Structure 1
Amino acid sequence: MSQSPSSGASAPLHRLLSQAADAVQGVREGRSLTDLLTRVPADLRPGTQALAFMALRRLGGAEAARKQLAPKAPPPRVDALLLTALALLWPDPEPAYADHTLVDQAVHAAKLRAPASAAFINAVLRRFLRERDTLVAAAERSPEGAFNHPAWWIEKLRLDWPAQWQAILAANNRPPPMTLRVHAQRTTAADYVQRLAALGMGARLLGAPTPQAVVLDKPAPVSALPGFAEGWVSVQDAAAQLAAPLVIGAGLKPGARVLDACAAPGGKTAHLLELQPDLQLTALDADAQRLTRVQDTLNRLGQHATLKAVDARQSATWWDGAPFDAILLDAPCSASGIVRRHPDVRWLRRPDDIAALARIQAELLDALWPLLAPGGRLVYATCSVFRAEGQAQLDAFLQRQPGAKSHAVPGFTGHLLPVAENASQGNAGPPLDGFFYALITKP
């Protein structure tokens, strides 16, 4: 969920800037923003996240501008604060803070975190404001500065999607909508929108092919959502809500055995049980800590599944030999389709990560295919827009398994890109994350 800077308005801006700079520094050193934010004091976390998200969405331009202003990079703690401030001073029709306030508070933060750098920070930021138009124009002449993604990522998208690559990059830099999934066994999406309206919270229905999806006009903490603690609603992007109905299809037989092979954090696991509560569902994840999030989700929703902390590829260590009627493989991937929700991903990935992840995806497909019953269905999913993790992966699997059959399901399968043509009619921006889905059946 995106946060507005006002979320941390009760905290002094210089403290939020310092925390956000620490987060930016951590990401530049290869650490996950999600993990970094858990270390931020609770009262500062919403505001810190808002500033860190904004800084990471503009980091390419900020780095290009800093290289013009200070060709020799300052120490990491100073550089991170400087880049965060430059990103927040970037031209914006609705800036979060007045320029003079931001500069003043960045200098205040510098005095506390690196006192000797305060004059340097002040000089650089004030020069940036004086020459902003020229410096921004120069920064945007480089691919990284223009699109705020690494050059290799931009080139890969350009090759994969020659007509849409710029739209995808632009979508990645916009805050995403907050989308909910209404529990099908508790109420309808239309009724839930009315409940929200009664509380003064605007929302709209998405409709088919995601009939349980509701998009909020403005993001809100889950504690403000009526019935959240009681399991009436969950937070889940519309694209992710396509997985469960694709697995169930026209309906699995009562008591059908279903495998969710890479289940954490549990949204798709729960959705399967919302649509068909009588499933015998086994949920796996290689990370035992992440699997606890699946159990927490099931507990909140009053659902049950068999959870196992195992590597799905090592079926000899966990499979009981009884075939599954359906398998969902939401495979580990680059997360290149959900960059708008996780703006650090683009800066954490390296070019060779994609090939390494594609090998894991192929290993998972090959390991799980023998576990599927004849006539069963396997849904392969990734939250990626790269073809290597989507259509190319599917094509290679079908070559290795001549008996497997892929089925096109309009609106569900194939590459779903986070661009306007995948948006609901009348929506100002695409409500969908980038995903790939394939439905494969066994003879």
Structure 2
Amino acid sequence: MLQTADAVQAVREGQSLTAVLARCPQELRPGTQALSFHVLRLLGGAQAARAQLAPKTPPPKVDSLLTVALALLWPVATPPYGDHTVVDQAVSAARKRAPASAGFVNAVLRRFLREREAVVQAAQRELQGEFNHPPWWIERLRQDWPDQWQAVLRANNEHPPMSLRVNVRNGDAPAYVQRLAATGIAARVLGALAPQAVVLERAVPVTALPGFAEGEVSVQDAAAQLAAPLVVQAWQDLGPLAAGARVLDACAAPGGKTAHLLELADLELQALDTDPQRLVRVQENLDRLRQRASLKAADARDTAAWWDGRLFDAILLDAPCSASGIVRRHPDVRWLRRPGDIAQLAAIQAELLEALWPTLKPGGRLVYATCSVFKAEGQDQVDAFLQRHSDASPVQVQGFTGHLLPLADNGPQAGAGVSVVDGFFYALLVKN
């Protein structure tokens, strides 16, 4: 509980949960991550409840501990712990962290249990308390998706399914599902949307996956598995990429899409990323899958620093974005982003498109992707690019291009009311 309180406070102060968990003692990391995810999905309501029960904000260390305990006591279908356990552990944690506040913590939590229904109802009268997202985020979603915004917000608080990508060079999805069943892991084939995708009934460690170490399977969300086929396969009047085609993966880390491209076709692949450390992860992925690509640490916008002047047959631009489509996998994202971030990210995306377009051959294709549900980072961005470039034509591919929302009716379901896919945007552009 202390580690979780520290993690939640760090996120409130603008630190990534991934970075915080990396500093957590290894034996406490899995439990801290699970509890932090739970709390961050309920943070709006828990903060509103704390403000009701203790209107004078306590010191940060006590406030974060109280907020964590309130989130763990929040009425949900399957509470992680019993009420008595949460209160007992919160008071014990307070005695270690701020001994003078232990009685205060005890009193607040016991009052919450007595008045829980009324406190929760009051907290949920505020949009942030009801949907557990910042008000500016809720308003932007409401403007972009007037009919779906509430469903998207609720979907963001679901537990995402674990999806796998079977390496097409080693086997197919139906055969792999049978291998999983033989080891006691229940799974199913996703189907036409992503034919190599397998969805697990419940998450397991990668070490439990048969053939993982040998590169036979990778962990990748089903929506992310749409990128590589868009780049290499035939669509409408576009033929498939020829063997040996020169391809750029412009923002490659952590390398899932890079590897998928090489699984689908024999390519001369150049992978870029601004962070050398993140490229190490890409190389590890490629090594496990026994694939090869040329990796370079560079800002894709600075073509003079990395481009040799040879035009590319295809480009995958998986651009930096708000990550608003993958909030259920990264519940800290909504609390880390600020309203001004979207315009700043959209400006970077536009700069990347402008810098990379001249490196593409006439007749070549560029796939623009973001894991965002905000139109400023998706359709609006592409529409503006098309206005600026008369030599660019969009190719519409049913089920692939456009905004993909993380909703159960926007593709196959992982279970009752849970979408298989994260929120993504894809555009396929051809150079005339």
TM-score class, shorter-chain normalisation, is over 0.9
Structure-1 residue corresponding to 2:227: 243
Does the alignment pair 1:313 with 2:301? Answer: yes
Does the alignment pair 1:102 with 2:86? Answer: yes
Structure-2 residue corresponding to 1:302: 290
Residue identity opposite 1:236 in structure 2: Q
Structure-1 residue corresponding to 2:337: 349
Q: What is the alpha-carbon distance in structure 2 between the residues aligned to residue 113 and residue 196 of structure 1?
A: 45
1:154-193 paired onto structure 2 within 5 Å: 154-193=138-177
Q: Which residue among 316, 321, 333 is the counterpart of 1:333?
A: 321
Q: What is the alpha-carbon distance in structure 2 between the residues aligned to residue 89 and residue 36 of structure 1?
A: 24
Does the alignment pair 1:324 with 2:308? Answer: no
Residue identity opposite 2:45 in structure 1: G
Deviations, residues 241-268 of structure 1 (Å, cap 9, x unaligned): 0000000022211110000000000000
Structure-2 residue corresponding to 1:220: 204
Deviations, residues 105-152 of structure 1 (Å, cap 9, x unaligned): 111111112222211111111100000000000000001000000000
Does the alignment pair 1:61 with 2:49? Answer: no
Percent of residue pairs identical: 71
Does the alignment pair 1:292 with 2:280? Answer: yes
Q: Which residue among 396, 419, 422 is the counterpart of 2:410?
A: 422
Residue identity opposite 2:293 in structure 1: A
Deviations, residues 191-244 of structure 1 (Å, cap 9, x unaligned): 110111001110011011200100100111111111111111111000000000
Structure-2 residue corresponding to 1:439: 428
Q: What is the alpha-carbon distance in structure 1 between the residues aligned to residue 163 and residue 97 of structure 2?
A: 38
Structure-1 residue corresponding to 2:398: 410
Residue identity opposite 1:98 in structure 2: G
Q: Which residue among 241, 255, 275 is the counterpart of 1:252?
A: 241
Q: What is the alpha-carbon distance in structure 2 between the residues aligned to residue 211 and residue 226 of structure 1?
A: 19
Q: CA deviation at 1:49?
A: 0.5
Does the alignment pair 1:271 with 2:260? Answer: yes
* Stretch of structure 1 that moved more, 249-258 or 83-92: 249-258
Pair 426,362 (structure 1): closer, same or farther in 2 beyond 3 Å: closer
Residue identity opposite 1:430 in structure 2: S
Q: Which residue among 13, 16, 19 is the counterpart of 1:29?
A: 13
Residue identity opposite 2:172 in structure 1: T
Q: Is the 8 A contact 2:413 2:420 kept in 1?
A: no
Q: CA deviation at 1:426?
A: 8.0
Which 5+ residue runs of structure 2 have no aligned equivalent?
A: 235-239
The two structures have a TM-score, normalised by structure 2, of 0.98
Q: CA deviation at 1:96?
A: 1.1
What is the DSSP-based 3-state SS (H/G/I as helix, E as strand, rest coil) of the residue aligned with 2:26?
coil
Residue identity opposite 1:293 in structure 2: R
What is the DSSP-based 3-state SS (H/G/I as helix, E as strand, rest coil) of the residue aligned with 2:61?
helix
Q: CA deviation at 1:80?
A: 0.8
Q: What is the alpha-carbon distance in structure 1 between the residues aligned to residue 413 and residue 104 of structure 2?
A: 50
What is the DSSP-based 3-state SS (H/G/I as helix, E as strand, rest coil) of the residue aligned with 2:34?
helix
Pair 430,360 (structure 1): closer, same or farther in 2 beyond 3 Å: same
Pair 138,297 (structure 1): closer, same or farther in 2 beyond 3 Å: same
CA RMSD of aligned residues (A): 0.8
Q: Which residue among 55, 66, 72 is the counterpart of 1:82?
A: 66
Q: What is the alpha-carbon distance in structure 2 between the residues aligned to residue 184 and residue 74 of structure 1?
A: 55
Does the alignment pair 1:134 with 2:122? Answer: no
Deviations, residues 288-317 of structure 1 (Å, cap 9, x unaligned): 111111011111111110000000000011
* Stretch of structure 1 that moved more, 178-187 or 113-122: 113-122
Which 5+ residue runs of structure 1 have no aligned equivalent?
A: 1-16
Residue identity opposite 1:255 in structure 2: G
Structure with bigger strand share is 2
What is the DSSP-based 3-state SS (H/G/I as helix, E as strand, rest coil) of the residue aligned with 2:185?
coil
Pair 363,426 (structure 1): closer, same or farther in 2 beyond 3 Å: closer
Structure-2 residue corresponding to 1:205: 189
Q: What is the alpha-carbon distance in structure 2 between the residues aligned to residue 118 and residue 227 of structure 1?
A: 50
What is the DSSP-based 3-state SS (H/G/I as helix, E as strand, rest coil) of the residue aligned with 1:422?
coil
Q: What is the alpha-carbon distance in structure 2 between the residues aligned to residue 335 and residue 86 of structure 1?
A: 27
Q: CA deviation at 1:332?
A: 0.2
Q: What is the alpha-carbon distance in structure 1 between the residues aligned to residue 402 and residue 77 of structure 2?
A: 36
Does the alignment pair 1:393 with 2:377? Answer: no
Q: CA deviation at 1:423?
A: 2.8
1:370-381 paired onto structure 2 within 5 Å: 370-381=358-369
Deviations, residues 354-394 of structure 1 (Å, cap 9, x unaligned): 00000000000000000000100000000000000000000
Q: Is the 8 A contact 2:199 2:414 kept in 1?
A: no
Does the alignment pair 1:119 with 2:103? Answer: yes
Residue identity opposite 1:281 in structure 2: L
What is the DSSP-based 3-state SS (H/G/I as helix, E as strand, rest coil) of the residue aligned with 1:44?
helix
What is the DSSP-based 3-state SS (H/G/I as helix, E as strand, rest coil) of the residue aligned with 1:246?
helix
Residue identity opposite 2:2 in structure 1: S
What is the DSSP-based 3-state SS (H/G/I as helix, E as strand, rest coil) of the residue aligned with 2:380?
helix
